[in-house]
Amino acid sequence: MTGPAPMAIREIDAPPAEALRDLAEHDAPLVLRGLVRDWPLTREGSRSPAALNAYLKARDRGVPVPVMEAPAASGGRFGYGPSLREFSFTKRQRPLAETLDRIERGTSTADGPVIAIQMLDLTRVFPDVVRDNPLPELGGVAPLLWLGGRVRTQIHNDRDHNLACVVAGRRRFLLFPPDQVANLYIGPPDNPPALSLVDPDAPDLQRFPRYRAALAHAQVAELGAGDALLMPRHWWHHVTSLDPYNAMVNYWWGRRPAGLDDPHDAFLLALLALKPLSASERRYWRALLDAHVFADDDAAVAHLPAALRGHLGDLRPSDRKTLRQRLRAAFLANP
């Protein structure tokens, strides 16, 4: 890798069950060594690919599974195709047993396609697996299975907190803080998922010079079977499956406001309303947002009594309701 070496992600022993959700709110990634070492999934995954495949096949209910496949020439890189409008992999629904057999056969050859089961809803497809491999502190959150060959998932981020639990093979996670978005050269936002154009394993620093700055803030960790990584929402991450056979269970959770409270929709509205303005007008709105939205204190309104701060102060539920109604009326009047 060219550029400054990433720092190691902080590691802690598996935390008390009740602390796991709270840790995600600290806004820094954490490696949790041995969090799921006692799972039957981890036990079988540590034995061999055949053992974990047999464990899953024995619980197969015949539901097709989401399968992603990339040609051998891709080197396992799951990212954009040349035009940035398509991807370097295909995605389809296939039978579980057939796919597991293909992935296992791929462990002994280097010239075949790279195949992976991705985002398989275990609660829907394998309720017995969820029951036998519990993580009670995340009760109510649907676990997803990721299983395949030497996949390299291009830099992307998630809107939710993410707990990634490795149950077979080794994975390397390269993480960048959310504020590095301008240095990661993210692809077309209207072709989700939005991915970085930079290949972290061979970055082209002439084409992507700001990536060197992103590397100065990067963090990295290698996880083995039983280990987990906690990633707060919005952290950019590149994931490399280091062995011919890898498996991981992950959990996404976090409050996702809807409607006028959705930050992503507010961002899209800012693109529509603020980006076309002149430079001087944008400076005004930037200063206003910095003072009243992004500041960590209320210095901009500290001179006003709390009762006179209006919607610039602490919004009560009734205030929020009134503000929503005002905005809805404005949008309906000017669609």
Interval 87-134: pLDDT, tens: 889 999 999 999 999 999 999 887 889 999 999 999 999 999 999 999
1 within a domain of the structure (yes/no): no
pLDDT tens digit string along 276-320? Answer: 999 999 999 999 999 999 998 889 989 989 888 888 888 888 888
Residue after which a domain boundary falls, among 214, 232, 253? 253
Q: Is 206 helix (H, G, I), strand (E, B) or coil?
A: coil
Q: Do residues 167 and 238 share a domain? A: yes
pLDDT tens digit string along 129-166? Answer: 999 999 988 888 999 999 999 999 999 999 999 999 99
2 within a domain of the structure (yes/no): no
Q: Do residues 175 and 318 share a domain? A: no
Q: Do residues 175 and 240 share a domain? A: yes
Q: Do residues 110 and 236 share a domain? A: yes
Number of CB atoms found within 10 A of residue 245's CB:
21
Residue 171 in tokens: 């994975």
For the whole model, what pTM was predicted? 0.90
Q: Do residues 172 and 287 share a domain? A: no
- Give CA separation, 39 vs 73, 129, 130, 132, in Å: 35, 10, 10, 8
Q: CA nearest 220: which of 205, 234, 238?
A: 238
242 within a domain of the structure (yes/no): yes
224 within a domain of the structure (yes/no): yes
Q: Do residues 312 and 207 share a domain? A: no
Query: For the chain, first and last CA: distance in Å?
Result: 49
Residue after which a domain boundary falls, among 213, 237, 253? 253
Q: How many domains does the chain have?
A: 2
Domain that holds residue 302: 259-333
Q: Do residues 294 and 264 share a domain? A: yes
Residue after which a domain boundary falls, among 253, 274, 300? 253
Q: Do residues 181 and 243 share a domain? A: yes
Q: CA nearest 9: which of 241, 254, 228?
A: 228
Q: Do residues 67 and 184 share a domain? A: yes
